[in-house]
């Protein structure tokens, strides 16, 4: 029989995942600010939960927040969210690519080039990084 703490953790993950899905629906409707609020709420609900399932939902929320922040030109926040993913998963393609885009928008060309080049090393088929890299 599982202990009560594990069951509570599973319940928290399921709840956070439901909130994340609400954010996904808002994101798909172009409601990026509202979606970001959902993703932030889902992350807050998982504070202190160190399970693998919680980490997966947190990572997804960070990447989705980064997408929202890119769409709303909040590039410093993109760097922050992607940085937390890259810290745990250095070869995360989405995090590298989105942070590279944000750095380019912030004028941090060497940082952008580093991330976008790393994204291409992770997946050489990432063609969308080429125009950004050529402009630097």
Residues 82, 14, 12: CA angle, nearest 5 degrees: 85
Confidence at 130, pLDDT banded by 50, 70, 90? low
Q: What pLDDT is stored for residue 135 in this prediction? A: 56
Is the whole model's pTM more than 0.85, yes or no? yes
The count of structural domains within the chain is 2
Domain of residue 92: give its range. Answer: 75-136
How far is 43 from 17, CA to CA, in rounded Å? 9
Mean pLDDT within 43-59: 95
* 136 plus 84 within the same structural domain: yes
Average pLDDT value for the chain: 89
* 46 plus 98 within the same structural domain: no
Mean pLDDT within 64-92: 97
CATH classification of the domain holding 117: 1.25.40.10
* 90 plus 47 within the same structural domain: no
* 28 plus 82 within the same structural domain: no
* 101 plus 51 within the same structural domain: no
* 56 plus 123 within the same structural domain: no
Q: What pLDDT is stored for residue 131 in this prediction? A: 58
Q: Is the pLDDT of residue 103 over 90?
A: yes
Q: What pLDDT is stored for residue 2 in this prediction? A: 43
* 61 plus 89 within the same structural domain: no
* 67 plus 81 within the same structural domain: no
Q: What pLDDT is stored for residue 6 in this prediction? A: 56
How far is 38 from 27, CA to CA, in rounded Å? 10
């Amino acid at each position: 029989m599982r202990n009560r703490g594990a069951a509570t953790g599973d319940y928290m993950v399921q709840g956070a995942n439901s909130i994340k899905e609400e954010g996904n629906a808002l994101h798909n409707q172009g409601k990026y600010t509202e979606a970001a609020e959902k993703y932030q709420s889902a992350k807050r609900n998982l504070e202190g939960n160190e399970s693998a399932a919680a980490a997966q939902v947190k990572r997804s929320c960070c990447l989705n927040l980064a997408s929202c922040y890119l769409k709303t030109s909040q590039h410093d926040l993109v760097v922050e969210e992607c940085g937390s993913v890259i810290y745990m998963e250095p070869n995360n393609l989405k995090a590298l690519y989105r942070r590279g885009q944000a750095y380019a928008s912030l004028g941090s060309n060497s940082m952008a080039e580093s991330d976008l080049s790393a994204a291409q090393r992770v997946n050489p088929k990432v063609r969308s990084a080429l125009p950004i890299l050529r402009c630097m």
